[in-house]
Structure 1
Amino acid sequence: MLILLPPSEGKATRRRGAPMRLDRLGLAGLNAAREAAMAALAQASARPDALEVLGVGASLADEVRANTRLESAPALRASELYTGVLYEALALGQLDPASSRRAARQVRIFSALHGVLSLGDRLSPYRLSAGVTLPGLGNVTSHWRESLSLLDAEWADELLVDCRSGPYRSMWRPVDRSRWVTVDVPAASHFAKHTRGLVARALVQHGGRFSRPQQLLEALDGFSPSLSGSGAGGWQLTVVAPQ
């Protein structure tokens, strides 16, 4: 089983430390696409209209300027970098050792800049959202669709529990949808993110060897889960936050 997560806009920083190295990220087959995205982001972030290009406000000007220093800024593990609502609920730093090891094996993060990351991948803080169009690169989501096709072979035998938000889900959808389970939370965005984080935490703590969508229902009993869909079009797992 793999648990697919979006990144978060909020990111931690570090004042000292070694910078990221592209050749040490997992899934080396994505490195050419990563390099192109990093170069385009650095160029866009140095432009006078960088805030407009990246679709952010003036309060984020420092984060945009940091995009020009990705190859020299201190890097953090992905498990430490993302700090948004979903990751607060997942609380990776508070997992017991066995659950931490399962999270390292099972959690994958989709990134507008790096494609797909494992929790141990080290990278510099950046500001880029899926759906942005970068001069010289084009739409970021479209940029990744072709490169991420390698995931169909890489993850062919995995049950995929998809907690991504819409823009990041658009970066890649499996060709074989018989083991693709999208997690739906009928709540406002903030609470939906929080609940998806709790779902991911519950799954890595459970420790079960899941290979079929139906097995998730027992593992997530506290979330009042319901499963719909089919092996042809994919499955939808609807959950609600525990009371």
Structure 2
Amino acid sequence: MAGDGTVGKACDVLDQVAAFERPVRFGELQASSPFPKATLYRFLQTLTNQGMLSYEPEHQTYALGMRLVRLAHTAWTQSSLAPIARPHIDRLSEALGETVHLAQLDSSQVLYVDKRNARQPVEMYSQAGKVGPAYCTGVGKAMLAFLPEDTLTRTLSQQSYHRFTDTTLCSEHTLRAELAAIRDRGYAFDREEHEPGIICIAAPILSDQARVLGALSITGPTNRTSYDKLTGWAPQVLDTAARIGAEAQAWRFPETHLRKRQAS
């Protein structure tokens, strides 16, 4: 990001390498890089020396390094909801037989941190570790609806509002109306807004101070799932989200949680 100096630029290079989703040659990076050739090469060398990238000399390609794998694993266990939520989403997926997603906000986007497949899996975009749009996914809208107004305004200004399907909400005005409805009922729907034939119901995972920690969803294909069926699952989705939120609250803010228990 602008203003973040050398560290920010190095992170941009890592993002660029990651975006290829395969080993990539210097020429390919240079073709889409905002940095001069010498600057890009210097960043690649430094990141390779630090283990953030790996270099394969035979094919002259760069890939994400094992140090990032170690950091990612630590981040998954320390910062994501996944370890806490896993038994809860396992039970929910088993009970309902459909796909369960667990997500958190990553800046203005949705980061899927875990997923449980349906008994009859269907190919879809979302996978653990993937980033998706917030404005047209069930988990994204569920989280957006409960953000503080200043955070929401900033986050909405960063949405692309690209039209993926005929039902995608493509403006801040229409999205805000949808978010108000989500706040009223407590859960969100994805009405084939990101992928044709895929619908979901999603609930926010909140702290006891109503801070957004994440969201979970039940997702299914339209050929075997209906909105009436999704609505019927709302109590289970909301209850699971509340249970995850309570455990996450105790884990993330243990001293505050302990003081409240002692006071009661």
TM-score (norm 1): 0.31
TM-score (norm 2): 0.29
Structure with higher helix content: 2
Task: Kindly name which structure, 1 or 2, has the bigger radius of gyration based on alpha carbons.
Answer: 2
The higher-RCO structure (CA 8 Å, 6+ apart) is 1
